[in-house]
Amino acid sequence: MLANQRRDKIFELIREDGQAKVTDLSRIFKVTEVTIRQDLERLEKEGFIMREHGGAYLKDIDMNVRNLQLQAQDNLAEKMAIARKAVEFIHDGDTIILDSGSTTTEMSKIISGFKNLTVITNALNIALILGAQTGINVIVTGGEFKAPTLSLTGQKAADFFQNLHVDRLFLATAGIALRSGLTYPGISDICVKRAMIESADEIYLVADSTKIGKSSFASLGALSLINYLITDSNITKEDIEWLKSNDINFIIAE
């Protein structure tokens, strides 16, 4: 892996988890701690992170948590369109899972008017948005708090889904590629998302088109894990053909 590629992956990890230790990054990327410190120094100079003894943390993370503000706010119009389309597949009496993420957050903002709807989520911001809605029963997982995504993660969050059965899962992702499948910046999320998938009858992946062809750090598994991909109208003709040729059911939100 080239140095600039490694720094990009390091920043992805820090942006996802909020912080990282030099020793852990050295082990993950199989380079010396000296090399990692140089990478962190470069990222700090570029204004992305703040270094501290033994590691680094994301800038402005305290303010974002206090304001319940997610880090990922790009492609917002596309995510709102995907959210509107995704909500069409929710029905009265359903039990659904809303994964943590910016697109699922947009879904939570427009979920209203349902009767006897149960929403299970690992995202604290989503729980707070939906908590005041009449007709919606909100259940929050346990787990370790991850500040940038305002979510609960780790094995305790995954264990929550044991012996649960839900109608639909609305799943987030950082990247969608044929070889690496569904990918994420954080390792701790993989077990949670796998547990969510195992408990759901139908899995809807909600992802804007910029994530198609992109690979992140940790792979969840093949694209066959999902039933449908809901994406936006900016998807390219080449990506449409790629999805069709690999028998991936997709829905385009206009």
Q: What is the CATH number of the domain that holds 167?
A: 3.40.50.1360
Work out the burial of residue 52: count CB atoms within 10 Å of its CB; fewer than 13 is exposed, 13-18 middle, 19 or more buried: exposed
- DSSP 8-state symbol, 224: G
Beta bridge partners of 21: 55
In a domain, 70, yes or no: no
- Within a domain: 174: yes
Tens-of-pLDDT digits for all 254 residues of the chain? 788 888 988 888 888 787 889 998 898 888 999 999 999 999 999 988 889 889 888 877 776 777 677 766 788 999 999 999 999 999 999 999 999 999 999 999 999 999 999 999 999 999 999 998 889 999 999 999 998 889 999 999 999 999 999 999 999 999 999 888 999 988 889 999 999 999 999 999 999 999 999 888 889 999 999 999 999 999 999 999 999 999 999 999 98
Q: Residue-wise over 212-221: b if at least 16 C-beta within 10 A, else e?
A: beebbbbbbe
Question: Angle between the 76-87 and 102-110 helix axes, to the nearest 10 degrees?
Answer: 50
Same domain assignment for residues 42 and 112: no
Domain carrying residue 93? 76-253
> CB within 8 A of 66, min separation 6: which ones?
none
